[in-house]
Every structure is written in structure tokens, then in C-alpha cells.
Amino acid sequence: MDSICLAEELYVNYEKTPVLWDVSFSVPKGVLVGILGPNGAGKSSLLKAALGLIKPLSGKIEFFQQPLSSVRQKIAYVPQRQSVDWDFPITAIQVVLMGRYGRLGLFGRPRKADREAAAKALQLVGMAGFADRQISQLSGGQQQRLFLARALVQNPDIFLLDEPFAGVDLTTEKEIMALLKKQKEEGKTIFIVHHDLPTVEEYFDWAILLKTRLLACGPVSEVFHADHLAKTFGKMPTVFDEAVSLSVKTPSGYL
């Protein structure tokens, strides 16, 4: 399979503390990728390095084997919900239209086609009736759907989502995942920072396991094993371990 994302000897520090250390991997086109690891493992930093939001000490991560400046408009980013100022006075439709600014330029005015695309994106995420609602008046799940709509309206080839299911109910999570799977069926590649291990096999084709260093990268069927998880997460609590065991394979079969 053709590689759409390549990391080579990537080193990233945050305030002099290593967060990614000698990370190298490749990911093929058209897969759903779960980025897994404990808190502080470098998952969000990996996305930010890929977007040029933080500068690596050395090494690189790139898409389409091209510099970021050449492919930026092909990439949509959904940040962690907690990083957004939800008190900012802006409506839902205005947020979605921000996804078209790459096409319009900084001072370009949205055209009819842009407004129609934004309305369609809101409809896709079940938010058609909230176009004129202030974002501060939306629930957590609605806010997450809104930023997914902003990503969809860009019509990107690659989605980067940082903990999109944090603080949302299960119904919203399943609906968002269904939308993302449909995007994958259309040939898009989707990277998701994810914490819920029991859903990994259901959600993802590919997994990246991080703990500052890369511990595994490959098809879920090959890398989502108890030995890799033990190296990534250490000793897991009994209840959590039992839940994970329902879906995790050992090299010789299911636990």
C-alpha cells in the first residue's frame, strides 16, 4: 500500500522535556488510525508536529512525501474541545465557514457555494437546526459535532482529530464514528487520538502505540496485543484489564 504519512527519526521536546523520541513509522492511504498511549505519551504532540504547530528538535513527519506548505489545504484538524474558547461570540455556521478560509484567503468573503457547503456539513453532523446558535449555548457533544462539520467542509484528504470523543455521550460518539468511517470509504485517511481501548478493534484499521517512543505501528490485527499494551500502559487495573481482554488478542489467540 502507498504511504500517505511518514515519520522519520522524529524528536520533539516540550519545555525541555522529551515528548517524542526517535519516532519513525509509515501509514498507508485510506485507513482509520488510532493513536494510543497513556497521558503524556506524545499523542497530541505528534499531531501538532505534523501540523507545524510545534517544531521538532530533529527528524520529520510529512504527508504525501511533500512539505507541509504544499499540502496544508488537504489536511483538516479537530483540536481538543478543552483548548477552544467556547465563550467567543460566534455562531455555529460561522465556525463551519472557517473551514473554507483556506480556499477564500484571509479577507475573502464566503460565496453562495461556501454557505451551501457549510449548511450541508451541519446537516451531516445533525446540527442543521443550530446554524445561528452561539457556540457557548451548545452542549459538549454539539460542540464536538460542530468542529467535525468544520473539518468536513474543507473536503480534506486527511483528518487529524485530537480526542474527539472526550466528554461526549455514547450516541454522539457512535454517530461521529459512523461519519468518519464513511469518509474512510471515500478514500480519506483519518488519525484519531483515542483512549478507550475496548473500542479499538471496532473503530480502527491501524494503530500507533506511543509512550514517548514508538512501541508499535501497524494493522490493529497485528499490533493490538496484550504484550504491546503492557509495554505501552504498564500494569493495568483489574477492571480495566478485564474490559480490554474482551477485545485484545495475544499472539496465540484471544485472552
What would the pLDDT profile of 50-88 be if each residue is shown by its tens digit?
999 999 999 999 999 998 988 999 999 999 988 888 889
Please report the pLDDT score of residue 253 as a whole number.
44
Per the structure block, which three cell numbers stand in for 52?
Answer: 507545524
Residue 109 banded pLDDT, cuts 50, 70, 90: confident
Report the C-alpha gap between 201 and 194 in whole angstroms.
Answer: 12
| Percent with pLDDT over 90 in the chain | 69
Which residues lie below 8 Å from residue 3, measured CB to CB, with a gap of 6+? 26, 27, 28, 29, 65
Question: Structure pTM?
Answer: 0.88
Please report the domains of the chain, with CATH numbers, ordered by start residue: 3-83+157-254 (3.40.50.300)
Ranges 54-58, 221-225, 248-252: which has the least confidence: 248-252
Q: What angle do CA 226, 229, 232 make, to 5 degrees?
A: 155
239 has a pLDDT exceeding 80: no
Give mean pLDDT, residues 199-211: 96
Please report the pLDDT score of residue 106 as a whole number.
61
The enclosing H or E element of 76 equals: strand 75-78
248 has a pLDDT exceeding 70: no
Phi, psi angle pair for 200, to nearest 5°? -60, -50
